[in-house]
Amino acid sequence: MKKVDMYDRRRFLKQGFGYISILAIGGVVWGACNSGNVSKEQKPAANASEEPPEKVPASSDPCDITALTEQDIKNRKALGYVEDTPIPEKTCDSCKLFIPANDIKQCGTCALFKGPVQPGGYCTYWADKTI
């Protein structure tokens, strides 16, 4: 191979990678500069038809879940939470994620979802405290 051909190939590759790099960086900069130029009228409303979740007033029962939103209740169900455990060895009060209430007669809470949690409850994410 001739020395001239080798230098031409190297020069071609250097210039090619240089141009590609400039185009890539320019595209990123151009995109970053133009991303904030969209006016509020042009932006599609993501939740235009959705109304904010309504909260029902809480009762005097500390374990009442009526104050939770529908999404909070769905999250509880998705985690398989039940107020009475089907597995006697696995109760919420023996779970690592359970946060006990100050008063023994009240419900505690859970690190995974919002709302009151019965000490004798259970969910599919139960984790042993001793581990």
Identify the CATH number of the domain in which residue 109 sits. 4.10.490.10
Please count the CA atoms within 13 angstroms of the CA of 42 that sit on its side-chain side: 5
User: Domain for residue 41, yes or no?
Assistant: no
Enclosing domain of residue 108? 56-131
For the chain, 131 residues long, give each residue's pLDDT as a single digit of tens: 566 666 688 888 888 888 888 877 877 777 666 655 555 555 555 555 555 555 545 456 778 888 899 999 999 999 999 999 999 999 999 999 999 988 777 889 999 999 999 999 999 999 998 87
User: Domain for residue 42, yes or no?
Assistant: no
Cα distances (Å, whole numbers) of residue 115 to 64, 74, 109, 120: 8, 12, 6, 15
One domain, residues 72 and 113:
yes
Domains of the chain: total = 2
Single pTM value for the model: 0.52
